[in-house]
Structure 1
Amino acid sequence: MIKVLIVETNVSRYQGTNEATGLWLGESAEFVEELQKQGIAYDFVSPKGGLVPLDPRSMAYMDASIWKIYESQDFLDRGLRNTLKPDQINPADYSAIYFTGGHGVMWDFPENAEIQAIARSIYKAGGYLTSVCHGIAGLLNLKDEQGHYLIAGKKITGFTTSEEIIAGKKKVVPFLNRTLATAHGANFQKKRFYKSYALQDGQFITGQNPFSVRAVAKLLIEELNACKPS
């Protein structure tokens, strides 16, 4: 059975401040809806397991489809209140891993060895490493067994410096996605700010910003459907 692992943050505040952040709701909900349309199974994991906080700003961008997923009991239970812990995950069960965004991920995704090990196993088995927006943080420090960055030489995208400036968070975030991606050998791509943009390079599928979720999902679904037995 084809199944996707969705990774969400446990971080509720911009570190060192009292300002709330967390998961950008649409980056999980829209992705889930696209998987549901195709009958593709999925699970949720977070670095600590359990509760996933929501970035309150993301609640202002909810259309009917996001509300539908958000109000479903399954999403509330599995996707927000009771996410799995990394040690409950068997990487062999998944054809892809998807890193959601929201600024919180910048603190608990980059150095999480357990989730990195899961992602590395999925990748080694031929699965897909996918992300959107700040979710790129889950890919930036991934290395192979020889210590080489997996993103080296790959075309990837994520929330840009321009978008960080527009969001008013350039001085708050612990790093800038493009700067770190480039330092680790990636070929960072971007389009106009706050416009949908997703691209694929081999087993990597990445999206630039919150408006790119469905584009990422559709690229991944196309690959997963191609893998289904006829």
Structure 2
Amino acid sequence: MATILFVMTGADHWTLNDGTRHATGFWAEEAVAPYEAFRAAGHQVVVATPGGVVPPVDKGSLAAEANGGQEGADRIAAGLDAMAELRRPVRLEDVDLGDYAAVFYPGGHGPMEDLAVDAASGRVLVETLESGKPLGVVCHGPAALLAAVREDGSNAFAGYRVAAFTNAEELQAGLGEKARWLLQDRLTEAGVDVRAGEPWAPNVVVDRNLVTGQNPASSEPLAAELLKQLG
């Protein structure tokens, strides 16, 4: 049995290009599906957030239309209720990577607000990458990779192949034209090799110990791949 660190957003909003705040947080399915897979495999989970705040869920991710109908929404809501770890997060600033066998970042627009510029998260990412421990990041979670900067100013993930929420998906979801920046663009500017799949279809990319997924539909196959790496 291993302990897996979930690094999650503490932001309940995403600031748009006109200065307004779009209510958000983490995307429920992207936390619930991997959590259930890891727990079913016998592993423990610890949640960490900036400052140790309770991670806010994006209310939109609980809606029936976001989960293939009301039955799916009810299942996700029940899964969320079962994640007691969400209610007692540790401070990301205090995380010792030696305590964990793997690290996982769910998405939602929240990481675009806080983890994209969070130095403690950046440190955890660089340490995980260099340790060879499995690192899973899904959807908007790769925004956190932008803070993984080495002392020379280069991004630790430059040259890595990743999947992440695409420009096409952001535009189709209705927020692309309101965004201050788009995740696919910013990752590409940092030297990260974004491998875009079809919008909304599962797309998981594995590069060394890094496992990334493009969107909510990628959460479950990403978790399966991370479990394979854990052995």
The amino acid that maps onto 2:140 is H
Match of 2:2 in 1: 2
Distance 2:90 2:164 in 1: 25
Contact 2:97 2:128 in 1 (8 A): yes
Q: Paired residue for 1:46, among 46, 49, 66?
A: 49
Name structure 2 gaps, 5 residues minimum.
Answer: none
Say which of 121, 130, 134 aligns to 1:124.
Answer: 130
In 1, distance between residues paired with 2:178 and 2:188?
Answer: 20
- Aligned partners of 2:29 and 2:146: how far apart in 1? 22
CA distance in 2: counterparts of 1:12 and 1:177, whole angstroms: 18
Give the alignment partner of residue 85 of structure 2, picking from 62, 78, 81: 78
1:59 deviation in Å?
0.3
Q: TM-score, normalised by structure 1?
A: 0.89
Partner residue of 1:218?
224
Which residue in the other structure is 1:67 paired with?
A: 77
The 1-side partners of 2:93 and 2:198 are apart by: 39
Deviations 1:75-103 (A, max 9, x none): 1x421x33211133211112222111111
The residue correspondences of 1:20-169 to structure 2 (distance < 5 A) are: 20-60=23-63, 61-62=66-67, 63=72, 65-72=75-82, 75=83, 77-79=84-86, 81-169=87-175
Residue among 9, 19, 23 paired with 2:22: 19
Partner residue in 2 for 1:228: none
Cα 1:20–1:190 shift into 2, 3 Å: same
What RMSD, in angstroms, separates the aligned Cα atoms of the two structures? 1.7
Q: CA deviation at 1:128?
A: 2.5
Aligned position for 1:177: 183
Deviations 1:137-194 (A, max 9, x none): 1113313454432221111010000000011111333321211111111211011101
Aligned length, in residue pairs? 221
List 4+ stretches of structure 1 deviating above 3 A.
Answer: 144-147
Give the % identical residues. 29
TM-score in terms of structure 2 length: 0.89
Whole-Å separation in 2 of the counterparts to 1:200 and 1:140: 18
CA distance in structure 1 between the aligned counterparts of 2:39 and 2:210, rounded to whole angstroms = 21
150 and 69 in structure 1: CA distance in 2 versus 1, 3 angstrom threshold: same
Displacement of 1:2 in angstroms is 2.4
Distance (Å, rounded) in 2 between the aligned partners of 1:172 and 1:98: 28
Corresponding position of 2:210: 204
Structure-2 separation of matches of 1:89 and 1:55 = 25
Counterpart Cα distance in 2 of 1:13 and 1:147: 28
